[in-house]
């Protein structure tokens, strides 16, 4: 049976590390500030935003939530982002995705001051990632790397397969794995024989948003399986992109859903917010 990678425990450990660092600068009286913007009332987004706010409270970071109605015009949202860019109490800005259909997410992301791009999705942050320069990394892929690092699971020289090529997860995930010296293949909806490709992998990261897509016949014995998917079944149960019960006996390590990658995203958001705060100090 596989080692279950406990995202709640590792997320807590990462946040405790941030708390220890923050202790050292607390006497200055300054504190990191995160602004979270939520447009509409997507129930999953409401839950995620609540968790982000709670994590800030626990660490003693300043946070503010901006809830806008689903019909908010784009100009108004961009205006809010620009005012947050100018606000010295705010070091990180996160606009929760997905946005309602009439809003262009790319335009919104590009309006965020790259220094405050704690989501790591601005083209400037993504460019730095590809160039191998230090910068703010997307929280979920960075969370996956932190999880593997915590359990001392090596990726260097290993064959890794990422399923999914989104800007938020798949692409930055592949890039972080390359940076960690893995040999990386990215699969997507147009890939022929996905099962055959995934079977080659010593490390699998499933991030395409299809419930229980990765089945036991697709996974090689002893693979490390990371499940980024969060899907709700018609019965209301949360399941990942991996058929956990079937795949776990074959894997050497696996993340559950919930309690795997999800909590890591929050921890890395806090880490990015702290990093952005340190880098904006005095400016």
Binding site for ligand GUN (CB under 6 A): 48, 94-97, 119, 139-140, 265
Q: CB-wise, 169 or 253, nearer to ligand GUN? A: 169
Minimum CB separation of residue 24 from ligand GUN in Å reads 28
Q: CB-wise, 265 or 273, nearer to ligand GUN? A: 265
Q: Which of 6, 113, 119, 243 is catalytic?
A: 119
Q: Say if CB 262 and CB 51 are below 8 A apart.
A: no
Four-CA torsion 165, 166, 170, 174, nearest 10 degrees: 70
Burial of 238 (0-12, 13-18, 19+ CB in 10 A): middle
Residue closest to ligand GUN when measured from CB atoms: 97
Minimum CB separation of residue 37 from ligand GUN in Å reads 9
CA separation for the pair 80, 134 (Å, rounded): 28
Q: CB-wise, 194 or 264, nearer to ligand GUN? A: 264
Minimum CB separation of residue 109 from ligand GUN in Å reads 8
Q: CB-wise, 96 or 280, nearer to ligand GUN? A: 96
The rounded radius of gyration (Å) of the Cα atoms in the chain is 19
CA separation for the pair 68, 45 (Å, rounded): 13
Long-range CB pairs of 96-101 (<8 Å, 24+ gap) are 96/36, 96/37, 96/38, 96/39, 96/45, 96/48, 96/49, 97/45, 97/168, 98/42, 98/45, 99/39, 99/40, 100/39, 100/40, 100/70, 100/71, 100/72
Active site residue 119: yes
Q: Which of 6, 15, 52, 241 is catalytic?
A: 52
Active site residue 152: no
* CA distances for 279 relative to 6, 35, 136, angstroms: 31, 17, 11
Of the candidates 133, 68, 60, the residue with the CA atom closest to the CA atom of residue 99: 68
Q: Which of 6, 15, 96, 227 is catalytic?
A: 96
Minimum CB separation of residue 93 from ligand GUN in Å reads 10
Minimum CB separation of residue 152 from ligand GUN in Å reads 25
Q: CB-wise, 80 or 95, nearer to ligand GUN? A: 95
Q: CB-wise, 116 or 250, nearer to ligand GUN? A: 116
Active site residue 117: no
Minimum CB separation of residue 249 from ligand GUN in Å reads 30
Catalytic residues: 52, 96, 119
């Amino acid at each position: 049976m596989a080692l279950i990678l406990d995202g709640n425990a590792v997320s807590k450990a990462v946040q405790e590390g941030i708390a220890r660092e923050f202790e050292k600068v607390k006497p200055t009286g300054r504190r990191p500030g995160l602004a979270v913007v939520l447009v509409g009332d997507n129930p999953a987004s409401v839950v995620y935003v609540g968790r982000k706010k709670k994590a800030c409270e626990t660490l003693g970071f300043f946070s503010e939530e901006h809830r806008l109605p689903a019909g908010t015009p784009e100009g108004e949202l961009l205006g809010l982002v620009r005012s947050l860019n100018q606000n010295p109490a705010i070091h990180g800005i996160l606009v929760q995705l997905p946005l309602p259909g009439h809003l262009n997410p790319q335009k919104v992301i590009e309006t965020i001051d790259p220094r405050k791009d704690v989501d790591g999705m601005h083209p400037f942050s993504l460019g730095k990632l590809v160039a191998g320069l230090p910068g703010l990394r997307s929280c979920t892929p960075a969370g996956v790397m932190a999880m593997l690092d915590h359990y001392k699971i090596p990726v260097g020289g290993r064959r890794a397969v990422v399923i999914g090529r989104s800007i938020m997860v798949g692409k930055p995930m592949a890039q972080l794995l390359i940076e960690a010296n893995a040999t990386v293949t990215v699969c997507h909806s147009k890939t022929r024989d996905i099962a055959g490709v995934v079977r080659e992998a010593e490390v699998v990261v499933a991030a395409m948003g299809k419930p229980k897509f990765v089945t036991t016949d697709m996974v090689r014995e002893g693979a490390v399986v990371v499940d980024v998917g969060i899907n709700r079944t018609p019965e209301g149960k949360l399941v990942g992109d991996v058929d956990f019960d079937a795949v776990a006996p074959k894997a050497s390590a696996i993340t559950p859903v919930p309690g795997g990658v999800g909590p890591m995203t929050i921890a890395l958001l806090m880490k990015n917010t702290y990093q952005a705060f340190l880098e904006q100090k005095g400016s």
